[in-house]
Each structure stands twice: as structure tokens, then as C-alpha cells.
Amino acid sequence: MFPMNAWYVACTPDELVEGRPLGRRICGERMVFYRNAQGEVCALEDFCPHRGAPLSLGRVCQGELVCGYHGLVMGCDGRTLSMPGQRVERFAPIRRFAVQERHGFVWVWPGDADRADAAQLPDFEWSGNPEWAHGGGMYHIACDYRLMIDNLMDLTHETYVHATSIGQSEIDETPCETHREGDRVITQRHMAGIQAPPFWQMAMRMNGMDPDQPVDRWQICRFSPPSHVMIDVGVALAGRGGFHAPLEAKTAATVVDFITPEADGSIWYFWGMARRFRPGDAELTARIREGQGRIFAEDREMLERQQLNLQTWPQRRLMTLNIDAGGAHARRILDRLVAAERGEAAAAAA
């Protein structure tokens, strides 16, 4: 149900604790991640070729992955290097996965490692840019990854799910516009001459702006396959140009959303916010991360309950309205990519 020959965020570098491998299931594949002696991230099947034990229950010694069951040592290429008291020449290799470390994340290609192309990794204006600050976190959520894409591409729900933070009636009252650019989908909404909701009032205050002033607010959601959604959000003093207002007249950020399927019905959700004001203010980064974390926790409850309902009543047909256009376009792109991969696999097997 998801493209396999694509880059997904697997983890953050701080999850790779020295001496301990990290086990994670991604797109249905059980993987183990660790750093080798050169500090490079390696990813293998989480399966010891001796007795099938999870390699993630082992340890990392001098950059080598050691099985925690009988001490078998694996190489980054998936071949067994050694085992106490045993000859290992005939041990079958296990699968390796292509990995890259970029933008403060570890990325993995769950499909054919030989087809992995680092040039296909996305680029972001905020990554590595000293004029920007980024902070975020990760949630494990029991929902289909496409439900999260739907959620992020239709921010109408903010009025109801996030009524005390970023929601306001003007979101309902302002129509959104959706269009495609190849395999990318853009949905946007621009609200003029309104009062900022509580979260943005806090951000304005921290940015030295008067939170009681009327503002123009924008939400520009950008989906790119397999499951990344970047959302330009913010407020500017009314009449100063909205999204295009000069930096001194606005408080703006990019909501960073990397959605990694664990399997059918569950995801690893890496969320964050990159901002271009007061980038060196660690306290502000922490406050924004805390507020954003509460907002996404509200989404988590809604999405998990929605997933349960859809599993309980799978025969029920859902409605698609104009506000659902962004998610609907994204699903069509994903369906086409998955169908193409299955077609290639069928042709190769014939």
C-alpha cells in the first residue's frame, strides 16, 4: 500500500545511541540501524542468519553489529564476518538497505537498494541554514499513513480539533485552492484582516510583534511523494503582503511533516517547525516545540479513533468534498506509484 522505492525518514541521529542498535519496522520491513567504525549509518534486516534472532537485541562493538544471542558479527553489506568457534563462509547474507543521513534525519530506501538514488532526497530551505531554527519530535501513531496525509492537506479541521491553539472560524469561512505540479500537490488558504489565534499570538509576542494587531494569515500545504508534507504557515500585519510580507512585518514558519509507514495501519510521524525569526533563541524553540507537540497529540487521538472506525466499518463509503482535494490528489499519485512498482515486480517475475 506504499511505494517502496523511495526515501523515508527512519529515525533521528540521537536515536542511534552508542553501543546499541535500533530496531524499527518501516514499510513492513523489520530493520536494524547502527553506526559502523567510520560513523556511517548502516541498515540491515533485523534477522540473524544463525537462528533468526532480532539483531536489534544485540550490541554494537567498535562499529560492528554483534548478535545478542550467540555473538555472531554482521557486516554492513549483510554478510557474516565471524562467530565464536564457528566457520561462517556458508552463512547466507541478509538484506541490506540503502541509507543516507541528511537534514538532521536518517533516511532509508525500503525497496531495491541498488536503485536508491541520493539525488532523489528532497532539499529544504531551512536545512543547515543559520538564518533558520528547527525543533520537533516523533510520534508513533496507529493509523494508515494516508490518513495523516489527508489530515495535513486539509487544515479545515483546525477549527475543531485545535480550537484552543491554532483553530479559528475564519478557516471555515475561507475557501482553499488546490492544484498539482507533476507529482506534487499544493493546497493553500489565505485569510485577510483577522485576529491571530492563541498559538500565533504567542509566536508574535516572542517575535516582538503586537499580538492584538489584525493580521493576514496563510496556510500553504505542499505534498510530495512518498509521504512528505511541508506547510508554510504564519501571520503578517494586515495589509503588508501576507505570505510575501517583509520579515519585520510577519511571524512565519514551515511545519515539517515526514510520515513513515510502519506497516498497514501504523506510522512513525516525524514532526517539527522551522522558523526564520530569532533562530538563536533556544527557549523559543523549546516553547514552540512544546506547543506544537500538544497540537499534534490532538491529531493523534483523532486519527487513531478514525482508523478504528474505518476498520470496524470497512464497507462504508466516505464522502469527498472540495476541502479533501489535496488528500485526494495525493492518494491518486500514491496509487499510481504503487501500481507501477507492482507492475515492474510482476514483469520481472514472469
> For position 103, which CATH number holds?
2.102.10.10
Last residue of a domain, one of 60, 92, 120: 120
Same domain, 155 and 93: no
> Is 101 strand, coil or helix?
strand
| Cβ partners under 8 Å of residue 332, min gap 6 | none
Judge whether 41 lies within some domain: yes
Same domain, 153 and 105: no
Q: Please tell me the distance from the alpha carbon of residue 303 to that of residue 149, in angstroms, as a whole number.
A: 11
Sign of CA dihedral 58, 59, 63, 66: negative
Same domain, 91 and 153: no
Judge whether 2 lies within some domain: no
Judge whether 349 lies within some domain: no
Judge whether 318 lies within some domain: yes
User: Average pLDDT for residues 100-127, to the nearest whole number?
Assistant: 96
| pTM for this entry | 0.96
Same domain, 146 and 169: yes
What does each C-alpha distance from 11 to 118, 191, 231 come to in angstroms? 17, 36, 21
Quick one: pLDDT at residue 346? 82
Residues facing residue 61 across a β-bridge: 64
Quick one: pLDDT at residue 347? 84
Kindly state the percentage of the chain with pLDDT values over 70: 100
Last residue of a domain, one of 73, 91, 120: 120
User: Average pLDDT for residues 283-310, to the nearest whole number?
Assistant: 94
Quick one: pLDDT at residue 345? 82
Judge whether 209 lies within some domain: yes
Quick one: pLDDT at residue 96? 97
Domain that holds residue 235: 133-338
User: Average pLDDT for residues 68-78, to the nearest whole number?
Assistant: 96
At which residue does the C-alpha cell 503588508 appear?
Answer: 240
Judge whether 87 lies within some domain: yes
Q: What are phi and psi of 99, to 5 degrees?
A: -135, 155
Q: Count of CB atoms within 10 A of residue 100's CB? A: 19
Same domain, 146 and 116: no
Same domain, 49 and 173: no
Same domain, 104 and 140: no
Residues facing residue 256 across a β-bridge: 230, 272
| Cβ partners under 8 Å of residue 106, min gap 6 | 9, 10, 11, 12, 13, 15, 16, 33, 41, 99, 100
Q: Look at the chain and report how many structural domains it folds into.
A: 2
Last residue of a domain, one of 88, 120, 152: 120
Q: Please tell me the distance from the alpha carbon of residue 312 to that of residue 315, in angstroms, as a whole number.
A: 9
Same domain, 268 and 174: yes
HSE on the CB side for 250, CA within 13 Å? Answer: 22
Judge whether 126 lies within some domain: no
Give the residue among 97, 160, 152, 172 at the shortest CA–CA distance from 272.
152
Same domain, 99 and 192: no
Q: Count of CB atoms within 10 A of residue 299's CB? A: 22
At which residue does the C-alpha cell 512498482 appear?
Answer: 341
| 61 has pLDDT over 80 | yes
User: Average pLDDT for residues 110-114, to the nearest whole number?
Assistant: 96
Q: What are phi and psi of 230, to 5 degrees?
A: -105, 130
Q: Please tell me the distance from the alpha carbon of residue 193 to that of residue 11, in angstroms, as a whole number.
A: 40
CATH of the domain at 305: 3.90.380.10
pLDDT digits (tens, 9 = 90+) for 217-256: 999 999 999 999 999 999 999 999 999 999 999 999 999 9
Quick one: pLDDT at residue 32? 98
pLDDT digits (tens, 9 = 90+) for 177-194: 999 999 999 999 999 999
Rg (CA), the chain: 22
Same domain, 309 and 221: yes
Same domain, 112 and 139: no
**C-alpha cell, 167:** 483553530
pLDDT digits (tens, 9 = 90+) for 2-58: 999 999 999 999 999 999 999 999 999 999 999 999 999 999 999 999 999 999 999
Q: Please tell me the distance from the alpha carbon of residue 104 to that of residue 113, in angstroms, as a whole number.
A: 22
Q: How confident is the model at residue 1 (pLDDT cuts 50, 70, 90)?
A: confident
Buried b (16+ CB within 10 A) or exposed e, 119-140: eeeeebebeeeeebbbbbebbe
Residues facing residue 224 across a β-bridge: 228
Q: How confident is the model at residue 141 (pLDDT cuts 50, 70, 90)?
A: very high
Judge whether 1 lies within some domain: no
At which residue does the C-alpha cell 484552543 appear?
Answer: 164
Quick one: pLDDT at residue 144? 98
| 205 has pLDDT over 90 | yes
Same domain, 110 and 139: no
Q: Please tell me the distance from the alpha carbon of residue 236 to that of residue 291, in angstroms, as a whole number.
A: 20
Give the residue among 285, 290, 171 at the shortest CA–CA distance from 235.
171
